[in-house]
Amino acid sequence: LAKGFAENPNVLILDEPTNHLDEISTGFLIKQIKNMKGTVIVVSHDRYFLDVVATKIWSIEDKKLIEHSGNYTSYMKAREKKRKSQQREYEKQQKKIEQVETHIKELSSWSQKAHAQSTKQEGVKEFYRVKAKRMDAQVKSKRKRLEKELEKAKVERVKEEYSVEFSIQANKKVGKRFLEVKQLKKDFHGKVLFENVNFTIQHGEKVAIVGPNGSGKTTLLKMIMGTE
């Protein structure tokens, strides 16, 4: 990353640049991007990073590229607003289609009755024949008009968002105090990673371990799991 910025390029393309970066390195990256005069194109799942550095969002959805001016949060708000508006228009369209189809069915039913009457009653055959023909024309006209309207401005149903749901249940009952550590120390090849570490984890807490790369975060996790 440092080499890329040092070359002062007109365009810098970054693919998941915050992967494996600690907080300090991420801060350095953000500062460099903001100070860069050239264009930056970045692929990232880091929402905080995108919110800070992005001025435009390209989102690839449904085989299309959607462009939005602003950061990631503003894009998501605009996207949600658009989805709700589209769903309302879709429901409105479906209601109209249902009304037209109901009318078409009524006309078709009347037309069938008129056709039947035109073959039974000698004195009024011509009347019912003309009536049936007129209704057939109305049915064709309404259906053709509906098809043209849908072809011109059909509103697609909003696709449901993928969601992941799962439940993690403990194999056995645990006490309120889930884990207690006292006077923990760890050194690696003569280098002390941490010492005099004391902490307690209560059952149900969600704990984040942060720190620079090489500070011992993964090592601490392994020690908690009993593999280190």
* DSSP string across 42-79: EE---HHHHHHH-SEEEEEETTEEEEEES-HHHHHHHH
Q: Are residues 96 and 148 in the same domain?
A: yes
Residue 34 to residue 51: CA distance in whole angstroms: 12
Q: Is the pLDDT of residue 119 over 70?
A: no
CATH of the domain at 21: 3.40.50.300
Q: Are residues 69 and 12 in the same domain?
A: yes
Of 35, 52, 76, the last residue of a domain is: 76
> Which residue's entry shows tokens 């300090």?
24
Per-residue pLDDT at 77: 96
Give SS3 for 81: helix
Residues 6+ apart with CB under 8 A from 68: 56, 57, 59, 74, 75, 78, 79
Q: Are residues 94 and 71 in the same domain?
A: no
Per-residue pLDDT at 43: 96
Q: Are residues 94 and 146 in the same domain?
A: yes
Q: Give a yes or no: residue 25 inside a domain.
A: yes
Cα-only R_g, the chain: 34
Per-residue pLDDT at 171: 66
Q: Is the pLDDT of residue 182 over 90?
A: yes
Q: Find the largest Cα–Cα distance for the chain.
A: 114
Q: Are 158 and 92 in contact (CB under 8 A)?
A: no
Q: Give a yes or no: residue 115 inside a domain.
A: yes
Q: Are residues 13 and 44 in the same domain?
A: yes
Region label for 210, one of left (φ > 0), alpha (ψ between -120 and 50) or beta (otherwise): beta
pLDDT digits (tens, 9 = 90+) for 127-169: 656 666 776 777 777 777 777 776 777 788 888 887 777 776 7
Residue 46 to residue 48: CA distance in whole angstroms: 6
Q: Give a yes or no: residue 163 inside a domain.
A: no
Q: Are residues 70 and 7 in the same domain?
A: yes
Per-residue pLDDT at 47: 95
Residue 67 to residue 78: CA distance in whole angstroms: 11
Q: Is the pLDDT of residue 172 over 70?
A: no
Per-residue pLDDT at 39: 94
Q: Are residues 6 and 70 in the same domain?
A: yes
What single letter denotes the amino acid at residue 174?
A: V
Predicted TM-score (pTM) above 0.75: no
Q: Are residues 57 and 113 in the same domain?
A: no
Residue 140 to residue 154: CA distance in whole angstroms: 20
Q: Are residues 129 and 189 in the same domain?
A: no
Q: Give a yes or no: residue 126 inside a domain.
A: yes
Q: Are residues 62 and 98 in the same domain?
A: no
Least confident of 25-29, 46-50, 59-63: 59-63
Of 76, 105, 125, the last residue of a domain is: 76
Q: Are residues 101 and 137 in the same domain?
A: yes
Range of the domain at 101: 86-153
Of 101, 118, 153, the last residue of a domain is: 153
What's the total number of domains in the chain? Answer: 3
